[in-house]
């Protein structure tokens, strides 16, 4: 069974601080996605990384896929209250294309 | 486009009752899935479908049935509700079918189900 461990589970920081969320597994994934979910809504895709070592930037968000395609990180620079939400990583398995989700990281950015 | 729609938004059931959660998408996606979301557990796959007439089990299928008679609709049936099925249920669809490595899931707004 493939598992994705996300850390930390909860993060409360002040506006302007930097943070990193980690997503780790002992399994290899064909691709990895990051989603953001706001209360009362469904998750929305932020990015997909496919190649080992790949780095993608989305404004103040930087996503990295590990060289071995077993782990990923999300780094936010100068966090803002609008970044508050639940961040989920999800790996696509190699067998059926199903998505395996991590437990999520609940981020709160205080002004 | 409405995207992925789910009804109802909220539902309270008594133990032993049955019901169907509705999901529809208007993006002509082949791949549709049902997830449940519980605190601290992320999203867990219940059932999925790679096209009309084809369904398969996910990680937590027990107590749920699905069918896919059209590309647009993918209802989830609870046969005999139990308190352990209290959760938020999300339907999702994507362009990619099983076996593709790259696909984005479009999620509906969710159904909040409480079983007493």
What does the pLDDT look like over A43-92, one tens digit per residue? 999 998 988 999 999 999 999 999 999 999 999 999 999 999 999 999 88
Taking an 8 Å cut-off on Cβ atoms, the answer to whether A98 and B48 are in contact is yes
Classified as helix, coil or strand, B53 is coil
pLDDT over 60 at B99, yes or no: no
- Going by pLDDT thresholds of 50, 70 and 90, the confidence category of residue B42 is confident
The rounded distance, in Å, linking the Cα atoms of B101 and A32 is 9
Classified as helix, coil or strand, A81 is helix
pLDDT over 70 at B98, yes or no: no
The rounded distance, in Å, linking the Cα atoms of B101 and A98 is 9
Taking an 8 Å cut-off on Cβ atoms, the answer to whether B104 and A33 are in contact is yes
Nearest to A50 among B90, B97, B102 (CB): B102
In this structure, is the dihedral angle defined by the CA atoms of residues B101, B37, A34 and A20, taken in order, positive or negative? negative
Q: Which residue of B has its CA nearest to A42?
A: B109
> Any chain B CB within 8 A of the CB of A97?
yes
Q: Which residue of B has its CA nearest to A93?
A: B101
Mean pLDDT for chain B overall? 92
> Any chain B CB within 8 A of the CB of A111?
no
pLDDT over 60 at B101, yes or no: no
Taking an 8 Å cut-off on Cβ atoms, the answer to whether B102 and A98 are in contact is no
Comparing A76 with B42, the larger pLDDT belongs to A76
Report the 3 state secondary structure along B69-106: CCCCECCEEECCCCHHHCEEEEEEEECCCCCCCCCCCE
The rounded distance, in Å, linking the Cα atoms of B68 and A10 is 38
Residues of chain A neighbouring B111 (CB-CB closer than 8 A): none
Residues of chain A neighbouring B54 (CB-CB closer than 8 A): none
Taking an 8 Å cut-off on Cβ atoms, the answer to whether B110 and A41 are in contact is yes
């Amino acid at each position: 069974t493939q598992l994705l461990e996300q850390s930390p589970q909860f993060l409360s920081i002040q506006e302007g601080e930097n943070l990193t969320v980690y997503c780790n597994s002992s399994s290899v994934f064909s691709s990895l996605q990051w989603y953001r979910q706001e209360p009362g809504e469904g998750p929305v895709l932020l990015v997909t990384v496919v190649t080992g070592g790949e780095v993608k930037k989305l404004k103040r968000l930087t996503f990295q896929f590990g060289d071995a395609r077993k782990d990923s990180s999300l780094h936010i620079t100068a966090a803002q209250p609008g970044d508050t939400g639940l961040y989920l990583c999800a790996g696509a398995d190699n067998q059926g294309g199903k998505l395996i989700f991590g437990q999520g990281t609940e981020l709160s950015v205080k002004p | 486009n409405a995207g992925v729609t789910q009804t109802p938004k909220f539902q309270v059931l008594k133990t032993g009752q049955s019901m169907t959660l509705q999901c529809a998408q208007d993006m002509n996606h082949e791949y549709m899935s049902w997830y449940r979301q519980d605190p601290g557990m992320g999203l867990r796959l219940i059932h999925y479908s790679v096209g009309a007439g084809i369904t398969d089990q996910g990680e937590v299928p027990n107590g749920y049935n699905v069918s896919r008679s059209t590309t647009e609709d993918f209802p989830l049936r609870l046969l005999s509700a139990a308190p352990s099925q209290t959760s938020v249920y999300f339907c999702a669809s994507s362009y990619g079918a099983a076996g593709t490595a790259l696909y984005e899931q479009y999620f509906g707004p969710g159904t909040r189900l409480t079983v007493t």
